[in-house]
């Protein structure tokens, strides 16, 4: 089939290089690669296969369905499920050899009634105020967990709320609490195989939080979680997006372009229509400062990005039907850092990569 439309290029070699750089940075500790939400829009199966080949120690998804998709595609690695334990699907967890998050007394009660063996990492809330047992209940929880016969406690973990920020006192406080919980676990003779706390921000900002495994997401995909972490690992973006020009026309000075007429040409010029819009993942607010790249030249996005198309001012550039422009990432046209787009529209690279629609063809 001849595909014509926006394309997402996934550079698996960059992924592998990023993974290797990360392992080097953390001196060979284990990596739990976060491949939830279709591997942040990159394609969970392809990304997981590439990382499995590299020997990644764990994969992490959010839902049990995401985990089963990976198993069905032949992934053999350990898979951790971040979401709240689903009391109705423990059999599937066991059958598919998955590892779950256990984060409440209710979870333990359910497990008490379960006949079988469930591998789990126990989650403690040290300041994210999401899932997890708060510090003051940690001891009771751990005591109850030891006496839950269907439960194999493979890991203990927590999650940072602010580890990608420059001001780290809150994150350090979270880490102190988690260390106290680990002491309690130790007194109870719980010897977890894995202890983990670090997301990408903490990997860079708080090396003392790495324990024996890190939960990396964004770094593997080649973007920094923020500007406030040391950029001292040479990662490369894995995802790039291009889209074809479908029409070019001459317009007079003063022509209004796109919905709301928010853009008015300041000279006689040429406007091209590009086949990619916000339904494909081009962030709509980007039109204010946004541009695409063609043969190294920045071409301004003119007017509001539509659902399926956007317009650019091509001036005197020789560009015609079928020519592909770079929306973000890098190729022979140059490069546009997704973090620069995110900054311009007060968003994050996390939001942008996970907003890629279902239409763009992913090319590996």
Ligand X SMILES: Cc1ncc(COP(=O)(O)O)c(C=O)c1O
Alpha helices in the chain (DSSP H): 12-25, 36-41, 44-53, 64-72, 90-95, 105-112, 138-146, 169-187, 200-205, 338-344, 349-353
- Orientation of helix 44-53 relative to helix 64-72, angle to 10°: 60
Nearest distance, CB of residue 6 and ligand X, angstroms:
24
Nearest distance, CB of residue 274 and ligand X, angstroms:
29
Whether residue 191 lies in the annotated active site = no
Report the residue closest to ligand X, judged by CB. Answer: 217
Catalytic residue among 91, 259, 298, 321: 259
Q: Are 244 and 209 in contact (CB under 8 A)?
A: no
Nearest distance, CB of residue 123 and ligand X, angstroms:
8
**In this complex, which beta carbon is closest to ligand X, that of residue 37 or of residue 146?**
37
Nearest distance, CB of residue 60 and ligand X, angstroms:
7
CA dist., res. 302 & res. 287, Å (int): 7
Give the tokens for residue 3: 């595909």
**In this complex, which beta carbon is closest to ligand X, that of residue 293 or of residue 341?**
341
Whether residue 259 lies in the annotated active site = yes
Alpha helices in 188-252 (DSSP H): 200-205
Catalytic residue among 7, 25, 36, 119: 36
**Which residues are near ligand X by CB under 6 A?**
34, 82, 159, 199-201, 215-218, 225
**Coil, strand or helix: which one is 94?**
helix
Task: Return the closest-CA partner of residue 153 out of 161, 145, 162.
Answer: 145
Catalytic residue IDs: 36, 259
């Amino acid at each position: 089939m001849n595909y014509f439309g926006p394309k997402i290029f996934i550079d698996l070699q960059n992924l592998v290089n990023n993974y290797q750089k990360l392992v080097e940075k953390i001196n060979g500790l284990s990596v739990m690669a976060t491949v939830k939400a279709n591997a942040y829009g990159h394609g969970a199966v392809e990304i997981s296969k590439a990382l499995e080949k590299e020997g990644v120690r764990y994969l992490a998804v959010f839902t049990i369905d995401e985990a089963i998709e990976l198993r069905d595609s032949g992934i053999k690695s350990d898979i951790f499920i971040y979401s709240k334990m689903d009391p109705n699907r423990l059999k599937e967890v066991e059958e598919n050899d998955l590892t779950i998050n256990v984060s409440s007394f209710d979870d333990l009660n359910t497990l008490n009634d379960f006949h079988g063996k469930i591998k789990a990492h126990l989650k403690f809330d040290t300041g994210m105020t999401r899932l997890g047992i708060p510090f003051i209940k940690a001891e009771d929880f751990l005591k109850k967990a030891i006496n839950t016969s269907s439960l194999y406690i493979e890991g203990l973990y927590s999650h940072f709320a602010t580890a990608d920020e420059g001001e780290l006192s809150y994150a350090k406080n979270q880490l102190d609490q988690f260390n106290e919980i680990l002491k309690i676990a130790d007194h109870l003779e719980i010897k977890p195989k894995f202890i983990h706390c670090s997301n990408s921000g903490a990997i860079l900002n708080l090396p003392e939080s790495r324990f024996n495994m890190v939960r990396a997401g964004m770094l593997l995909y080649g973007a920094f979680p923020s500007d406030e972490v040391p950029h001292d690992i040479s990662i490369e973006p894995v995802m790039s997006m291009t889209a074809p020009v479908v029409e070019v026309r001459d317009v007079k000075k003063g022509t209004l372009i796109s919905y709301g007429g928010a853009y008015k040409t300041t000279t006689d010029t040429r406007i091209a229509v590009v086949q990619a819009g916000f339904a494909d993942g081009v962030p709509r607010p980007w039109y204010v400062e946004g541009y695409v790249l063609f043969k190294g030249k920045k071409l301004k996005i003119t007017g509001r990005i539509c659902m399926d198309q956007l317009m650019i001012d091509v001036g005197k550039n020789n560009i015609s039907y079928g020519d592909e422009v770079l929306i973000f990432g890098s190729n022979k046209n140059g490069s546009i850092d997704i973090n620069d787009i995110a900054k311009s529209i007060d968003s994050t690279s996390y939001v942008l990569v996970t907003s890629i629609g279902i239409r763009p063809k992913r090319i590996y």
